[in-house]
Amino acid sequence: MNYQQARQRMLENQIEGRGINDPLVLAAMGAVEREKFVTASYADLAYADSALPIACGQTISQPYIVAHMIEALVLKGGERVLEIGTGSGYAAAVLAKTARQVITIECIAELADSARKLLTELEYDNIVVITGDGTKGNEENAPFDAIVVTAGGPQVPKSLNRQLKIGGRMVIPVGPNETFQELVLITRKSEEEYSQEKLCEVRFVPLVGAEGWG
């Protein structure tokens, strides 16, 4: 299979074709080798218009959703971004090409170790992978210019709200059950004020942790 051609078709049909037009996002989606972030048995489906299973019962998100979430952050290239839910490391790799630094947290040690190894092999030197409870964020490196959460929670974790810079943006799936959510864009207006905008309906794996589904 010619992965470069498949990636270009994905970019044209699934990403640009659905209205994603941020140059940084388009360049990143066109550069990251998604086939490296899926299991070998799914490599030929790496650029399919769907989520795919990865290890530990988790998933790698649909390419369009990854692009949509990152575009909503309105990154310019110099930001520090916090990602919750590393998974295979794919979204972190895309973020790394649109921001200065990415700190990504994964609660499943096996996934964190695998993603850390792969991202190191692929020479992503501006990504830090942490094993832990992502719902608590990463106070040590806060505040963040942007936060992206790749698992669905019952509400926006208060810790993540606090760790967002004033003027910063957070994208997170939120819903009343573990199956369906709405993708929500949070913008921190001031010390105490946040705005919220609904982007689209989504389906993510549950956000597990002290401020998630437990």
81 residue type, one letter? V
Q: Residue 141: helix, strand or coil by DSSP?
A: helix
Q: What is the reported pLDDT for 179? A: 78
For the chain, count helices (H), then strands (E): 6, 9
Q: What is the reported pLDDT for 176? A: 86
Whole-Å CA distances, 42 to 3, 15, 174: 13, 20, 28
From the list 41, 61, 159, 190, the catalytic residue is: 61
Q: What is the reported pLDDT for 188? A: 98
Distance of alpha carbon 205 from alpha carbon 214, whole angstroms: 13
For the stretch 8-21, pLDDT in tens is 999 999 999 999 99
- pTM for this one? 0.96
Q: What is the reported pLDDT for 178? A: 76
The residue-averaged pLDDT of 77-96 equals 98
Nearest CA among 67, 87, 207, 108 for reference residue 151: 207
Q: What is the reported pLDDT for 180? A: 86
Distance of alpha carbon 67 from alpha carbon 144, whole angstroms: 20
For the stretch 124-141, pLDDT in tens is 999 999 999 999 999 999
Q: Domains in the chain and their CATH numbers?
A: 63-202 (3.40.50.150)
Is 61 tagged catalytic?
A: yes
Q: Quickly list DSSP for 19-37.
A: T---HHHHHHHHHS-GGGG
Cβ neighbors of 66 (< 8 A, separation 6 or more) are 29, 90, 91, 94
How sure is the predictor about 109, in pLDDT bands with cuts at 50, 70 and 90? very high
112 residue type, one letter? A
DSSP 8-class letter at 122: T
